[in-house]
Structure 1
């Protein structure tokens, strides 16, 4: 397996497939982002610069191969793996013309994890993977090498859990992230407890620390989840 913490962008419009892939990759210590459309994928990749992208060929608002071409134009060292239901030789050759590997559906999840790791080892040395540019959203800046946080240039002291929660919100930008997704990603819950208030508690911790340095930055969508304003 490649260096822990490598970031994979999953672009898949079937939520059930995206969830299975995300859970498996996170279990193997990858950071994971998901998008269901070309538009969302481009926005996420621009903001977070993932190490690898796992792309469905058929997307609701475009073609995965065209998306791969655009992603590579923006980030030449991005590792690309295609998911495709098409196994005809011409389709496979066409996919490889845009990326580094392909996997046909239905797939074996262990094979997907292994292929992602192999492509990363071929395309990105470990020292390159570990040197990430800071994550930014508004006046927030997160350094993923030192795990430090600044707002408007001032240091914000966060616990590891607070940092992980804020990082996930920053990676998702202005999107409202459901509470269940936060529990799975930040706290690694496999089965969501119905009465858990851990997310609300840590959101209040973050608000207290971040709002002391500027305008409120975390927004709540009641009954749904949280995001950044």
Structure 2
């Protein structure tokens, strides 16, 4: 059973989320504040966290940062904050997706399913499992990246984006294809998500993120991975 942790301080919304998720055979825990969310994540090991940013004891972005210190669990932000800089701050902190209130329950559940798929292990051909560059090594089978002798911590969405690009070295992967594969949507307004995650990957992997050697942007078209 897939376990979901809902972090939300509105009792009515919590009830609606719990009922809808349980009706679809999810196991659900709920936390009314950030401290409880951190404790339950450690104790219950959920498969996905659905997180409001406006919590009574701490900002949701701080909860994301705290979780990213030790877990790669997918984090879906569910917030009334709609400003672009708020979304980018949450994504930059390590969130995997961002849904603005008011929202469609069907869309939230679709995003939830997509998050579970991204985090699921995918069998990799042993001969293609290891990708080595001068800067870093990617072990697709173990879902690990090492750079200069140290492990690089990636979020599930960062990993999935990297995995798609690395699977087809030198090939241009369109923005539309990446959006569909990662978020299950192809709306043009999600291209800012791709920019945020590519920037994060470059900061973690490239020697000079402002002049990338491996993670290349083709303006207006998409991205490619160069060996």
Q: Normalised by the size of structure 2, how large is the TM-score?
A: 0.51
| Paired position in structure 2 for 1:54 | 50
Mapped partners of 1:124, 1:114: distance in 2:
15
| Paired position in structure 1 for 2:32 | 36
Identify if the C-alpha distance between structure 1 residues 110 and 64 changes in structure 2 by more than 3 Å, giving closer, same or farther. same
Over 3 Å off, 4+ runs: none
Mapped partners of 2:98, 2:61: distance in 1:
11
SS in 1 for 2:69: helix
- Answering whether residue 95 of structure 2 is matched by residue 99 of structure 1, we say yes
Trace 1:99-138 onto structure 2 (pairs within 5 A): 99-125=95-121
1:87 Cα deviation after fit: 1.3
Mapped partners of 1:68, 1:124: distance in 2:
20
Structure 2: tracts of 5 or more residues without a match: 124-227
Q: How many residues align?
A: 122
SS in 2 for 1:16: helix
Q: Normalised by the size of structure 1, how large is the TM-score?
A: 0.51
Residues 23-80 of structure 1 deviation map (CA, whole Å, 9 limit, x = unaligned): 11111111100000111111111111111100001100001111111112222x2000
67, 78, 93: which one aligns with 1:83:
78
Identify if the C-alpha distance between structure 1 residues 55 and 126 changes in structure 2 by more than 3 Å, giving closer, same or farther. farther
Mapped partners of 2:34, 2:86: distance in 1:
20
Identify if the C-alpha distance between structure 1 residues 21 and 41 changes in structure 2 by more than 3 Å, giving closer, same or farther. same
Tell me if the contact between 2:64 and 2:90 (Cα under 8 Å) persists in the aligned partners. no
Mapped partners of 1:42, 1:88: distance in 2:
26
